[in-house]
Amino acid sequence: MATFFEEGTLVGVLTTQPLDRALDYKAPEGGCHLGAFVEVPLGPRKVLGVVWGAGKGGFDLAKARSVIRVLDAAPMRDEMREFLERAGAYTLTPMSAMLRLATRAPGLGDPPSMRKVYRLGEGEPARMTDARTRVLDAAREMGGLALTLKELAEAAGVTTSVVKGLVSTGAIAEEQSPRDTPFALLDADYGSKTLTPDQTEAAEALRSAQRAQTYGTTLLKGVTGSGKTEVYLEAVAEALRTGRQALVLLPEIALTAEFLTRVEARFGAKPAEWHSGVTLTERRRVWKMVAQGQAQMVIGARSALFLPFQRLGLIVVDEEHDTSYKQEEGVLYNARDMAVLRASLIGAQVVLATATPCLESWANADAGKYQRLTLTSRFGEAVMPEMRAIDMRSEELPANRWISPSLQRAVAKRMEAGQQSLLFINRRGYAPVTLCRACGQQIGCDHCDARMVEHRFLKRLVCHQCGESKPIPDVCPSCEAEDRLAAVGPGVERLAEEAQAVFPDARIAVLSSDLYGTARELKAQIETIAAGGADIIIGTQLVAKGHNFPLLTLVGVIDADLGLQGSDLRAAERTFQLMRQVSGRAGRAEQPGEALLQTFQPEHPVIRAILSGDEEAFWAAEADERRAAGMPPYGRLAGVILSGPDVQSVFDLGNHLARNDAPLRRIGAQVYGPAPAPIARVRGRHRVRLLVKADKGAPLQSALADWAAQVTLKGDLRMAIDIDPQSF
């Protein structure tokens, strides 16, 4: 049992207010446990806090204020406090901000919320109708189980007013019941599949790791469709059997619906869900059931890592290479790395599943820090698609056309065979650039350094950096020439227009995140496509992420060179991952697939590696290059982002820091910059970045902290430290 503090003793309470230490309070009447969620006075306010340890004292005890009350929630476990401290120290995040991540439960500690439920009552209605009989029959069929008004009415096929009428006669009883009902139990053996020999071997390795109940990380690598999900669900099953909870992180909320259905088929009931699309009431329920150990499995976004699991045994990070695992605002953390940290503190297993690992994970597996399991072939008859380059230098294409004759012929062939083609372009909107043919000006965002992207579907120009949008103007904002604005370059919407012109009879579906208002609309579209309701799919990155389209046999990448143009050291890795992922969409079922990459540089080493599929060679070459440059994962990097409304003072601060680098030099680290940050202006604030490079073993965090402490931020200047930045 956790340490207990008697009434009146001093306790240190960490609050979610931006103060960077625990404050001393007297334990309330009845005392409190270490880790208890409490309400404390702070100035004139009452705020949420957690009892973090004994008080420091050293002042007049009579002046100490008391904890107001202990909230009705399970105390935070020691291991969770340790996790927050370690994660905070790693990311150089104030503890108050870490605590906010771990207290995202709506109504934490409030009395249980109640709702009305209905069951068969004792009374006899004076007058019976067909509808009334149906309600009573439905209630009788439910046995003792109570339903909500809506559920009962739906079960009986009547309106809710019929049920209410029966309540007034006493034939249906109305009761209050706590809203936070438990989750249905999952059955580890419910819908188990017969695995292939390869899959069996991998599943058995994961199961035995799970049984050991110690920490370990496994990189589960396998081409798209090889059954990685089936395999890691076996690890989940083993966690369930041993009475431990499992967390599965997905990179994209849009994927959860499909995944939930799959989990339900495998374990006979739905798991808990935790992401921004979940209602407050449901989140409250999930939080509570997770803390009680009742919720056995959680599917979630990265923030689910901070749920109060009671006995977490397994964390799966699906599509572990996905950049969306890095939170880029507020607390800058990478959920993949934090999953490994959390698991290592509690003796849990981590499974990193991917077809294309990030170089960091590849290197960890290579160094023997992670176990490596590989599924080499696709399930069933499906084989990896044949990959070929279309050399755009020798294709005849009129201006403002992007579908080459070779690609056109391939699509036509698939249409004749009743199969689907996917045309991939990683650009949302209609055209990436809008410029005036009279004065040559491009339309830019008023708040950022980004160009405005035309979205014809929305009839607006949109900034992809800050989200600002405005109607498409008729006259040029610079020279006021009329009707001279021209779209330049292709986006997904423009490509759809071209495809429709080239294939007038084709049914075309566009998959781009901004075309769907809700996850449900997107899901409906995905289902339509999967059922064969489209001949040509035009899609952005969204399609690369794990949807199953059985009729899809051709993938055409419109611009394979797109990702290679930046100066980012990760460009090769990203392009390789994306191209492999997208190509993997073709030919999942019995039909062999084909992937065609339109490129102006078929000799480029990355393009050649993509085409040959020689992954090990690609990773080894990338690793050599990074090692030579002392870059991650062979060296350490941190970004320091300075921002403010006035560009000069932001640069001045950056230069000041760059000159005063003694704390960094002490650990042999180097400073680069200041330079405009990858996103140089956001919402009217200028952003400047300094990059710090250190050796692998150097105490980077403490040096950074000393370095940053040399400056006081005046006025509207801000500083954020980004450990292990995504782009460099």
Report the binding-site residues for Zn(2+). 436, 439, 445, 448, 463, 466, 476, 479
Query: Residue from 136, 335, 448, 611 that binds Zn ion (CB under 5 A)?
Result: 448
Which residue stretch of 223-231, 341-349, 357-365, 532-540 sits at the interface with ligand ADP (rule: CB under 6 A)?
223-231
CB of 442 or CB of 528, closer to Zn ion: 442
C-alpha span between 551 and 587 (Å, rounded): 7
The option from Zn ion, ligand ADP, none interacting with 230 (CB < 5 to 8 A, set by class) reads: ligand ADP
Under the binding rule (CB under 5 A), the answer on residue 443 touching Zn ion is no
Under the binding rule (CB under 6 A), the answer on residue 16 touching ligand ADP is no
Q: Shortest gap between Cβ of 232 and ligand ADP (angstroms)?
A: 8
| Per-residue exposure over 604-635, b if at least 16 CB sit within 10 Å of its own CB, e if not | bebbebbbeeebeebbeebbeebeeeebbbbb
Under the binding rule (CB under 5 A), the answer on residue 452 touching Zn ion is no
Under the binding rule (CB under 6 A), the answer on residue 224 touching ligand ADP is yes
Q: DSSP labels for 279-346?
A: -HHHHHHHHHHHHTT---EEEE-GGGGGS--SSEEEEEEETTT-GGGB--SSS--BHHHHHHHHHHHH
Under the binding rule (CB under 5 A), the answer on residue 470 touching Zn ion is no
Under the binding rule (CB under 5 A), the answer on residue 166 touching Zn ion is no
C-alpha span between 724 and 688 (Å, rounded): 17
CB of 229 or CB of 512, closer to ligand ADP: 229
Under the binding rule (CB under 5 A), the answer on residue 455 touching Zn ion is no
Indicate the length of the chain as a whole number: 728
Under the binding rule (CB under 6 A), the answer on residue 17 touching ligand ADP is no
In the numeric block, which tokens belong to residue 112? 């249980």
Q: Shortest gap between Cβ of 124 and ligand ADP (angstroms)?
A: 52
Assess contact for 319 and 354: CB atoms under 8 A: yes
Assess contact for 376 and 202: CB atoms under 8 A: no
In terms of Cβ atoms closer than 10 Å to its own Cβ (0-12, 13-18, 19+), residue 373 is: buried
Under the binding rule (CB under 6 A), the answer on residue 167 touching ligand ADP is no
In the numeric block, which tokens belong to residue 383? 């084989």
Under the binding rule (CB under 6 A), the answer on residue 577 touching ligand ADP is no
Number of residues that bind ligand ADP (CB under 6 A): 15
Best CA proximity match to 634, nearest among 697, 582, 555, 576 = 697
In this structure, what DSSP letter does residue 67 have?
A: P
C-alpha span between 542 and 255 (Å, rounded): 10
Q: Shortest gap between Cβ of 189 and ligand ADP (angstroms)?
A: 15
The option from ligand ADP, Zn ion, none interacting with 196 (CB < 5 to 8 A, set by class) reads: ligand ADP
Rg (CA), the chain: 29
C-alpha span between 461 and 393 (Å, rounded): 32
Under the binding rule (CB under 5 A), the answer on residue 164 touching Zn ion is no
Residue written as tokens 């034939």? 171
Under the binding rule (CB under 5 A), the answer on residue 463 touching Zn ion is yes
Assess contact for 194 and 344: CB atoms under 8 A: no
Query: Residue from 315, 466, 542, 554 that binds Zn ion (CB under 5 A)?
Result: 466
Query: Residue from 290, 392, 445, 610 that binds Zn ion (CB under 5 A)?
Result: 445
CB of 207 or CB of 228, closer to ligand ADP: 228
Assess contact for 473 and 464: CB atoms under 8 A: no
Question: Of residues 174-203, which lie at the interface with ligand ADP (CB under 6 A)?
Answer: 193-196, 199
Ramachandran angles phi, psi of 8, nearest 5°:
90, -20
Under the binding rule (CB under 6 A), the answer on residue 385 touching ligand ADP is no
Q: Shortest gap between Cβ of 461 and Zn ion (angstroms)?
A: 10
Which residue stretch of 153-161, 218-226, 476-484, 661-669 sits at the interface with ligand ADP (rule: CB under 6 A)?
218-226
The option from ligand ADP, Zn ion, none interacting with 463 (CB < 5 to 8 A, set by class) reads: Zn ion
List residues binding Zn ion (CB under 5 A): 445, 447-448, 463, 465-466, 468
List residues binding ligand ADP (CB under 6 A): 193-196, 199, 222, 224-230, 379, 548
